[in-house]
Amino acid sequence: MKLILNQEVDGLGAPGDIVEVKDGYGRNYLVPRNLAFQWSKGAEKQITQIKRARDARAIRDAAHANEVKNQLEGLDVKLPARVGANNKLFGSINVGDIADAVRANGGPLLEKRSITLANPIKTAGKHKVQVKLHPEVSASVTIDVVAA
């Protein structure tokens, strides 16, 4: 099955890449999760749009990724949230909240997919979050969840 990727898939490719996968993997995993769509001749225009958008927000190379890493690691990110008893949050903090908080605290615009969060943050305090900037470079950002 020939597909065009919408998002980066580990071990397969980046957005806009044309990949050949087994029918079951494409039909049961990639397409339902909107990670890819069916290839066709008319989809060539969509490929150029996807690649243009990816290039506009992508980190250019490892040196640029290291600059962004230094900027992120030197950043003091405070994220206000409603806190109840025992420092537990009402709700949780997810990758979208973290990306918005980094941007609001003077950091670069991060894609939500580049932020690795094993479990949603459900307590106030300092939490370490990994951000994959480049295949060779990842940064560790400290998020300080404070009572709002």
Q: Are residues 68 and 124 in the same domain?
A: yes
Give me the CATH number covering residue 128: 3.10.430.100
Map tokens 């997810």 to a residue.
94
Q: Are residues 11 and 39 in the same domain?
A: yes
State the total domains in the chain.
2
Sheet holding 137-147, edge to edge: 77-81, 137-147, 125-134, 115-116
| DSSP H/E element including 54 | helix 44-57
Minimal CA–CA distance to 65: which of 135, 141, 134, 142?
134
15, 34, 57 - which closes a domain: 57
What does the pLDDT profile of the chain (148 residues) look like in tens digits?
999 988 888 889 888 888 999 999 999 999 999 999 998 888 877 787 777 776 665 566 777 788 888 888 888 899 999 999 888 999 999 999 999 999 898 888 888 888 998 888 999 999 999 998 877 888 899 999 999 8
Q: Please tell me the pTM assigned to this model.
A: 0.63
The range of the structural domain enclosing residue 14 comes to: 2-57
Report the half-sphere exposure of 85 (CA within 13 A, side-chain side): 0
How far is residue 39's CA from residue 108's CA, in Å, rounded to a whole number? 33
The pLDDT assigned to 114 comes to 86
